[in-house]
Amino acid sequence: MPARHLFRVVDLFCGAGGLSEGFRQAGYQIVAGSDIDPDACATYALNFPEAHAICGDVRNPAIRKKVVAAAASAEIVVGGPPCQAFSQVRNHCRLIDDARNTLYREFVRIVANVEPLAFVMENVPGLDQMGVREQVLEDLAQKGAYRVTAQLVDAADFGVPQTRRRIVFIGLHSSLDFDPPRLAGSGATAAFYLERRGRGSRIRYEVRERESLFCDMAKLQDPANADFVTAEHAIGDLAWLQAGERRESIPIDELPSPLSEYQRRMRKGLEGVISNVSVPRINTDTRLRLAKLPPGGNVHDLPEEMTERYISGELWGQHNGTGRLGRRHFYAYRRLHPGLWSWTLNTKGDSVYHYSELRALSVREFARLQSFPDRFVFATDPRRGPLPGRIDGGAAHSRYRQAGNAVPPLLGCAIATSLHQVLTSQVKAREAA
């Protein structure tokens, strides 16, 4: 892309930097990222040395001043502010006025203060489901200063090997002559699904094609196709990693050849070592349960005897007094299906298990399912113990949380590319005038 059209971006509530990575891949210049979590800031600083990592609570006047100063030098503001009080609309309380939504208010406030050419705000679908979309559109429009659109999208429709639905708000300053762009994905999530078949010990999951839509199963199964990416096409080259693997990095000459176009693209720019490859240990009970789960299966596919709290006699975790698995375990025994993308990842390393191996995934495999390139390293602040903004759980948990919470970079890149086309058209029109 032409250097003179390298639009500058500031990322609020940036986390590890999924949106920033997507915008960087689309040709933007990343100026700064801000987050309260010192571990996420350490990751951001490591991967975006060209940018200013601002660590602290944006509600703090001193931190806000730094963020506003950075945003004032940028044309684009992006971010995903936590928004907790969706249901308050039922009590006739506007979203922006609720005390629990101060971070959302800060995003709106910063956009109002610096008036960028454009902004992007992403959030969970719950915001849409609770009926507050119109409130958010009104808040972001800033009394007519911006044209704003909202769109519900799924990351798997943009080449991400994971279904991850998000609502995306895109705003363009009213001084521009264009409306915000609409994102056009592949339609993959509407075309394919997993079907449960069989009974008892013969339960299996099959990838099916919806008859009402024109689509091609061959594309989904083709490792050379990077539009529809399955779990196996995303992480199949890392299947040899073992439970209890303690090395955090391994030389790239130990990697097998890429098995898909997606893996080849993820390795682009990788030098020396590949990081975040350690794999958690696994206890005997979990191994026994996984052995009974078909690929794509979950706790509901376990035989009755496998739902007992302790199977092997080894005591682990807190007993719930029932002698059976508790509700909190229902999402802890799920295996990927190799022939379809992953379900939505969360922040815990045991939220998903490998489709063929009896183990959890490494942070690197989480990152692959999120579409982070292999050169992107997840880190933590080297300081030990409690820090302002740090979430308890230790370094390993922090890396899983950072990866699981992130905006998939390929989704960010799709947003950025659509926005770039509009902005460059505007620039060229002004230059021609």
Task: Give the C-alpha separation, 227 to 201, whole Å.
Answer: 34
Question: What is the pLDDT, as a whole number, of residue 1?
Answer: 36
Catalytic status, residue 215: no
**What type of residue sits at position 237?**
D
The Cα–Cα gap between 120 and 183 comes to 13
215-405 and 3-185+409-432 share a CATH fold: no
Q: What is the phi/psi pair of residue 148, to 5°?
A: -130, 135
**Helix (H) / strand (E) containing 148:** strand 146-154
Q: Which CATH number fits domain 215-405: 3.40.50.1370, 3.30.450.40, 1.10.1740.10, 3.90.120.10?
A: 3.90.120.10
Classified by CATH at the fold level, domain 3-185+409-432 comes out as Rossmann fold (3.40.50)
Q: Are 86 and 132 in contact (CB under 8 A)?
A: yes
pLDDT for position 314: 75
- Is 50 exceeded by the pLDDT of residue 293? yes
What is the identity of the amino acid at 407? V
pLDDT of residue 26: 96
Whole-prediction pTM = 0.93
* Sheet with 76-79, edge to edge strand ranges: 52-55, 29-35, 8-12, 76-79, 118-123, 165-173, 146-154
- Tell me: pLDDT of 159 over 80: yes
Q: Is the pLDDT of residue 206 over 60?
A: yes
d(CA 43, CA 41): 5
Please give the Cα distance from 244 to 242 (Å, whole number): 6
Q: Which two tokens stand for residue 173?
A: 């300053």
* Domain map (residue ranges) of the chain: 3-185+409-432, 215-405
| Per-residue model confidence as pLDDT tens digits over 386-426 | 999 999 899 999 999 999 999 999 999 999 999 998 898 87
For residue 433, what pLDDT is reported?
Answer: 57
76 beta partners: 9, 118
Tell me which of 14, 41, 55, 83 is the catalytic residue.
83
The string of DSSP letters for 85-101 reads -GGGGGGT--GGGSGGG
Q: What is the pLDDT of residue 4?
A: 46
pLDDT value of position 44: 98
Q: Is the pLDDT of residue 57 over 60?
A: yes
Q: From CA 146, how far away is CA 143, in angstroms rounded?
A: 8
Spatial separation of the C-alpha atoms in residues 135 and 397, rounded to whole Å? 35
Q: Cα separations (Å) of 282 from 44, 290, 299, 361, 368?
A: 30, 10, 17, 11, 21
